[in-house]
Amino acid sequence: MEDRPKLLILYATQTGNALDAAERVGREAERRGCSVKLLSMDEYDVSSLPHEDTVIFVASTTGQGDTPDSMKVFWRFLLQRNLSKHWLEGVHYAVFGLGDSGYQKYNFVAKKLDKRLADLGAVAVVEKGLGDDQHPSGYEAALDPWMSSLWSILNKINPKFFPQGSYLAIPDMKLIDQPKVQITYHGDDNVDSQLPTNPDLKWIEMQIGWARSMSPGKFTHDKTRPGCFLKMIKNQPLTRAGCGKDVRHFEFEFVSSVIEYVAGGVLEVLPSQDSAAVDAFIQRCSLDPDALITVHPREKDNHFLHTCTIAKVPIKLKTFVELTMDVASASPRRYFFEVISYYATAPHEKERLQYFASPEGRDDLYQYNQKERRTVLEVLEDFPSVKMPFEWLVQLVPPLKTRAFSISSSPSAHPNQVHLTVDVVSWTTPFKRKRSGLCSMWLAKLHPEQSIYVPAWFRKGTLPLPPPSLPLILIGPGTGCAPFRGFVEERAIQSESNATAPVIFFFGCRNEENDFLYRDFWLSHSQEGGVLSEAKGGGFFVAFSRDQPQKVYVQHKMRENSRAIWKLLSKGAAVYVAGSSTKMPSDVLSAFEDIVSTEGGLSKESAVRWLRALEKAGSYHVEAWS
């Protein structure tokens, strides 16, 4: 047993998908009798990489080709120039990437990681796998065949990985019967004295910290960034009622500590779940909502569970569910169906769940689950014979994640406040089920007169606040205008005491009457010497896509004003693009390529290189979301 090699799996995740994929690879390896060590890239000493035998990398691409936060230090180390082309000689590796082909830099992180490892002398076991969120079965459509090839070739390279062969899997139940967490139930006697009769904000903050530190979900913001509580003071619709869109302007005041932030930053909000849904989940699972619990890893050296601070103070089961488990919004993963199949007592339910968990049932599961955005509560109601231990539910129910929003205010203009511009998400599934965004709908239903406190965390965005001397070209259709509202507010205040550089802003929406967000704000700053006025060398241009027979988008308005854009680019302007991640960023980049080529008298290839240099110099910024 001592000389059996251990398969190292390193992952880099931003939203949790890469962790799910890495855990799946680990489970499949263990079922073949292979010993596994699974770590986040920020938990691994990258200088030890040359001493490894075989390493599996699972990495997601975030934003516009960016590495996840947990991979940044790891990646910087690999880029050091003093690393020779023999540094990883003798190391075998495999890379699986998670991305979205709707983005311009599809799976960029996996591709550049694969190339860098090869450049450093490592040898690929299999061709890199590229999972695509746009595929009807999601990233698993690529993961299944990639793993099949991986096991087969690994077994040929080193049969010691799989003592019984790569195809002989350990019966699933041997791995299913032990969840990775355990629950300790506490009696009332020694806890009641610790529970306040009138909980204040400090107590609520501590409860959030306790609950989320015990959860197997990784909530990095809880430790690394200070949190605060906000109170809504304004909830203002920005779109005309009945137009098919509901975009809101929210204003919040700090009610606990005031957190310093800058325009262009991001606010993460922890949404409140519907109490009736939480109650229904607890009742369906035959749980005691008032039970006092603590949650901790079953094993000390448990690679499937993130290292967590074990809270010594018990918490009510219902509170734990409310703060950490997304029971009525997010869809469960495939592994959830695999596990609950063992707890289904009705034969027809067990058979259907086993089919869903199999490679053959993958596409049907996607139609049933992800496509319909079926929730954990709905799945459990569809399979009433399933009686599942709470430990498994804690491990497998999707974690309740914070939602990130671009801040649409300047702290200089609004001391003690932060503003958001939020699209209230709602849609109908293929089977005509009404769905809505958990956080946006919750915020939309809040009223300023209510004393409801919103837990929030601030972090830097991908749009750094520009100095007042820097000319700006801003492109922000729809809610992409949010960060630029803060930029314009900031520059308007700066212009009161000092000269500021010109700003051109391109905004886009469907109709002038329906969804011209912040109309009066933009117009006021584009007139009478405002920061967007022509008198200051700037400009404000709007594309109403559906107010005429032909669609008109921001890229059309950019081409119409190509001379003004080139004039600012020639003066060293920075470009900021924000909004939908689908086609907009690539269409805008294409428009810039045409403008640089035409106005600058360059070939198309030279224009592409010119803009690439602008991006490398940190003067072309994109913040996009799906």
pLDDT tens, residue by residue, 146-168: 999 999 998 888 777 777 665 55
pLDDT digits (tens, 9 = 90+) for 234-260: 999 999 999 999 999 999 999 977 889
Local confidence band at 189 (pLDDT 50, 70, 90 cut-offs):
low
* Predicted local confidence at residue 172, as pLDDT: 53
Q: How many CB atoms lie within 10 A of CB 601?
A: 9
Q: What gap in Å lies between CA 391 and CA 206, rounded to an integer? A: 23
Q: What's the confidence (pLDDT) of residue 303?
A: 46
What is the share, in percent, of the chain residues with pLDDT greater than 90? 69
Nearest one of 370, 208, 388 to 281, comparing CA atoms: 388
For residue 257, say whether it is annotated as part of any ligand binding site. no
Q: Is 529 annotated for ligand binding?
A: no
On the question of pLDDT at 133 being above 80, the answer is: yes
- What pLDDT does residue 176 have? 59
Residue 60 is assigned to a ligand binding site: yes
Predicted pLDDT of residue 33: 81
587 is in an annotated binding site: yes
Angle at the Cα of 148 from the Cα atoms of 337 and 94, rounded to 5 degrees: 105
Quote the CA–CA distance of 290 and 316 in Å, as a whole number: 5
Q: Is residue 551 annotated as involved in ligand binding?
A: yes
Give the pLDDT score at 451.
Answer: 85
Half-sphere exposure of 270 (CA within 13 A, CB side): 25
Q: What is the pLDDT of residue 193?
A: 45
- Predicted local confidence at residue 192, as pLDDT: 47
The C-alpha atoms of residue 52 and residue 73 are separated, in whole angstroms, by 19
Q: Is 554 annotated as contributing to ligand binding? A: yes
pLDDT at 64 over 90: no
Quick check: 307 pLDDT over 50? no
Count of C-beta atoms within a 10 Å radius of residue 226: 12
Instruction: Give the mean pLDDT of the chain.
Output: 89
Check the annotation: does 343 bind a ligand.
Answer: no
Query: Does the annotation list 84 as a binding residue?
Result: no
545 is in an annotated binding site: yes
Question: Is 572 labelled as part of a ligand binding site?
Answer: no
Is 405 annotated in a binding site? The answer is: yes
Q: Is 404 annotated as a binding residue?
A: yes
For the chain, how far is it from start to end, CA to CA, in angstroms?
A: 48
Q: State pLDDT tens for residues 476-527.
A: 999 999 999 999 999 999 999 999 999 999 999 999 999 999 999 999 999 9
The answer to whether residues 574 and 470 touch, using CB atoms and an 8 Å cutoff, is: yes
Query: What is the tens place of the pLDDT at every residue in 198-226?
Result: 567 888 888 898 898 888 876 544 445 66
Of 64-68, 104-108, 280-284, 294-298, give the range with the top mean pLDDT.
280-284
Q: Is 406 annotated as a binding residue?
A: yes
Q: What is the pLDDT of residues 331-376, one digit of tens each?
A: 998 889 999 999 999 999 999 999 998 888 988 998 999 889 999 9
- pLDDT, residue 592, reads 97
Q: Catalogue all structural domains in the chain, each as residue range(s) with its CATH number.
A: 6-170 (3.40.50.360), 181-396 (1.20.990.10), 472-625 (3.40.50.80)
Q: Is 149 annotated as a binding residue?
A: no
370 is in an annotated binding site: no
431 near 372, Cβ under 8 Å?
A: yes
